Structure formats: C-alpha cells, structure tokens
Amino acid sequence: MAYENILSALENNITTITINRPSKLNALNQATINELHKAFKKADEDKKTKVIIITGSGEKAFVAGADISEFADFSVSQGEKLAAEGQAKLFDFVAHLSTPVIAAVNGFALGGGLELAMAAHFRIASDNAKMGLPEVSLGVIPGYGGTQRLPQLVGKGRAMELIMTAGMIDANQALQYGLVNHVTTLEELLPFAEKLASKIKRNSSVAIAAAIEAVNAGFEDGENGFEAEITQFGKCFGTADFQEGTQAFLQKRKADFPGK
C-alpha cells in the first residue's frame, strides 16, 4: 500500500510505522491519521507482524502535535467531532490493538504526538526527546485521550501540572515519571526498540493479545479488570499456543507458537 505521509516496513516480524512529514515536524493532519489507521489495521491483521514500532522521521520530532492549521477555524461541533473521530480511528484503536505497539519517541512528542505515544502499549525515548501537552497555550485542551492517559501513566498531580503549565519535560524526567520505560541515544533508539520487540515476539502473540485486553480492562469505565483477567486467563487454555507453550516446557524444548 502506498502512503503519502507515513512509511510502513515489515522486517523480522516487526512492522515499523514512521510518520513522515519532517518539514511539519510530523504534525498529525487528517490525512496522516487516516493513513496511520490503515497501516495499524493492516499490521494487526498481518499474521507475520508480531510487534509494531511507531516512530517519527528525522532527528527532531516524533510528532509535534495535531496539525494546528487544520482546526484553527473549527466550530464547537467540528471540534467535538475532531476529537471523537481521532480517538476512534487512531488513539483508542492503537490502545486496543491486539498486536503490541511500542512508541519510539525520537524528538518532540507534543499534544497529539504525546497522546499517540501514550496510546501505544509502552514507550521508549531518545535523550533529545521533549514531551508535553501544550494545548491550553492554544486555548484548547488535549482531545485525543491526553487528559485520561497522562494521569494514568504519571499520576494526577504531575498530569495536572504538565497540562496546566503547557510545559515540556525532557526524556530523563519522563523516565523518572514512568512516562517512558527507557532512554537511549538517538542512534540507539530503533535498534533498542527492535531488541525489545525481538524479546516480545518469542512469546505467544495470542497470550499477549489476551494480556493487553486484561490490562486495558482495568482502565475502562464499567469494566472489572480482575474479572476480565479471569475470562482471558480461561480463554488461553483453549488455544493452540497454550498447548504448544506447556508441551514445549514439559518436553524441555523451545516453544514454536502457532500465534495469531
């Protein structure tokens, strides 16, 4: 599939999706959001893709936010639609994907950029990365899940401060906050993401999908995470991956999971 604003490449069972508008610091316009939706969906449906890495092109930005030029003259209803459609198409979509998604934050991750990184299942960052939700400096609030996912990841007080000040934190502070799991040099960022992806892809993709669903359930309104865990745990016993994983252990050999 040919894309205009992103690149998608599958290698060694890892699909790397790169947002590729470096002259606009990879800002998320609608066309890019639509392409990202298609690329994530395709990778998730592809049996060969065991892990997805999302990153930005260039050395400056992961994503510098939603494209401000596209919504500057929006009305109330257009604003609401922008947030609702974006959440459904990209941010919630990524968060609920059954294929693990790692965000490799290679520079500015601001507004929608940080929201995209937070929608990923976990994040790593290069030491030049800067993260923040600057929306209130524009007279708006985060609309792609930022008011919910930032407090979930860093705690309410830190999230309130970051949102209210519209400030940026650097990669080391993000590490200290638990917003990112690891910090590397820019050169090492993708190799390190691939190393983590390689560890993940050895495991059962079916079990990982069940784990993602159970973990997410604990953060959904009206869902009981412990009950979701019991259901997902039980479901695993009916899978070929479980048969293979347990037999391989008992036979003292490496598991060869049939997978998704």
| Binding interface with ligand COA (CB under 6 A) | 24-25, 27, 64-69, 108, 110-112, 134-135, 138
Minimum CB distance to ligand COA, residue 229 (Å): 35
From 4, 35, 45, 135, the catalytic residue:
135
Quick one: DSSP state of residue 239?
S
Output the smallest distance, CB 223 to ligand COA, in A: 29
In whole angstroms, give the CA distance from residue 149 to residue 160: 12
Indicate if 115 belongs to the active site: yes
Pairing of strands 14-19, 51-56: parallel
E runs forming strands in the chain: 6-11, 14-19, 51-56, 61-63, 101-105, 108-110, 122-126, 130-132, 168-170, 182-184
Euclidean distance between CA atoms 65 and 162, whole angstroms = 15
Task: Give the CA count within 13 Å in the CB-facing half-sphere of 55.
Answer: 26
Smallest separation (angstroms) from ligand COA to the CB of 186: 16
Tokens of 57: 């092109």
Q: State how far the Cα of 211 lies from the Cα of 52, in Å rounded to an integer.
A: 16
Nearest distance, CB of residue 205 and ligand COA, angstroms: 34
* Cβ neighbour number for residue 198 with a 10 Å cutoff: 14
Catalytic annotation, pick one of 11, 59, 70, 115: 115
Q: Smallest distance from the beta carbon of 85 to ligand COA, in angstroms?
A: 15
Sequence-distant (≥ 6) Cβ neighbours of residue 6 within 8 angstroms = 17, 18, 19, 20, 32, 35, 36, 39
In a 3-state reduction of DSSP, which class is residue 137?
helix
Residue count (the chain): 260
Active site residues: 115, 135
